[in-house]
């Protein structure tokens, strides 16, 4: 089973700390691309965040450089496959990836886990778009007193051929910071703010 080793934090380097959002990166021996971690606390419920993340068609409004995203197959209330097209800065080509998204919750602590893993061969490749061979995302979300939640997000990524490491690593801070800034705004939309999901206990 793939693991992001959430407890191994010794090598993380804080790259940005602004507006309550902390972005960390660390280099790894077996990859040219930095791993990424984001930490933030915001006023929201677990259901609100789950509803936002499950609304795949709306990703272009908050997920950095997402041109479009749509559901491929629904397996269960918190389990689906979707396709995402990412705009890459010049001179890199656009990227795409089919993703398996799963949301689970610990019955005792109520902590919520959101795990997204790229499934490269799920759909045929598209012309002039580079298929991402590896992407593992995980949100660990902890409910806090006072109607708040704490998010720890990690990303391990190989963006595929033709993307120089220096360019991708340059955007490894800008992208996640903007994503979580927009997430904090978007989650206050009534459709998410007032969401109650039967499979999530707030």
**For position 144, which CATH number holds?**
3.30.530.20
State the residue for tokens 């979707």. Answer: 82
Report yes or no on 54 lying in a domain. yes
Residue 10's pLDDT band (boundaries 50, 70, 90)?
A: low
Report yes or no on 201 lying in a domain. no
Distance (Å) of CA 180 to CA 93, 124, 142: 24, 30, 16
The residue segments making up the domain with residue 45 are 14-193
Report yes or no on 168 lying in a domain. yes
Report yes or no on 1 lying in a domain. no
Q: Are 34 and 174 in contact (CB under 8 A)?
A: no
Report yes or no on 169 lying in a domain. yes
The tens digit of pLDDT for each residue in 86-111 reads 998 777 788 999 999 999 999 999 99
Residue 9's pLDDT band (boundaries 50, 70, 90)?
A: very low
Structural domain count of the chain: 1
Q: Are 62 and 176 in contact (CB under 8 A)?
A: no
Report yes or no on 178 lying in a domain. yes
Backbone angles phi, psi at 173, to 5 degrees: -100, -50
Least confident of 7-11, 36-40, 133-137, 178-182: 7-11
For residues 184 and 202, what is the distance between their CA atoms, to the nearest angstrom? 18
Report yes or no on 199 lying in a domain. no
Distance (Å) of CA 183 to CA 86, 140, 152: 17, 15, 14
Report yes or no on 198 lying in a domain. no
pLDDT of residue 3: 42
The tens digit of pLDDT for each residue in 36-91 reads 999 999 999 999 999 999 999 999 999 999 999 999 999 999 999 999 999 987 77
Contacts of 75 (CB under 8 A, 6+ apart): 81
pLDDT of residue 155: 94
The tens digit of pLDDT for each residue in 164-189 reads 777 776 678 888 999 999 999 999 99
Retrieve residue 105's tokens: 């919750």
CA-based nearest residue to 134, from 31, 24, 65: 31
For residues 117 and 135, what is the distance between their CA atoms, to the nearest angstrom? 6
Burial zone of 171 (CB within 10 Å; 0-12 exposed, 13-18 middle, 19+ buried): middle
pLDDT mean across residues, the chain:
90
CA-based nearest residue to 167, from 93, 56, 105, 76: 93
């Amino acid at each position: 089973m793939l693991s992001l080793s959430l407890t191994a934090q010794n090598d993380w380097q804080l790259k940005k700390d602004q507006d309550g959002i902390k972005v960390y990166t660390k280099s790894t021996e077996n990859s040219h691309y930095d791993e990424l971690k984001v930490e933030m606390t915001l006023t929201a419920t677990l259901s609100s965040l789950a509803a936002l993340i499950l609304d795949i068609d709306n990703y272009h409004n908050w997920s950095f450089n997402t041109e479009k995203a749509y559901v491929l197959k629904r397996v269960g209330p918190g389990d689906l496959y979707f396709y995402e097209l990412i705009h890459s800065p010049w001179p890199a080509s656009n990227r795409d990836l089919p993703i398996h998204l799963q949301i689970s919750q610990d019955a005792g602590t109520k902590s919520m886990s959101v795990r997204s893993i790229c499934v490269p061969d799920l759909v045929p490749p598209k012309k002039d778009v580079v298929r991402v061979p590896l992407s593992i995302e995980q949100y660990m979300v902890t409910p806090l007193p006072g109607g708040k939640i704490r998010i720890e997000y990690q990303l391990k990524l190989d963006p595929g051929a033709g993307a120089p490491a220096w360019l991708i690593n340059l955007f490894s801070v800008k992208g996640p910071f903007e994503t979580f800034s927009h997430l904090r705004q978007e989650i206050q939309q009534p459709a998410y703010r007032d969401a109650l999901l039967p499979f999530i206990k707030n």
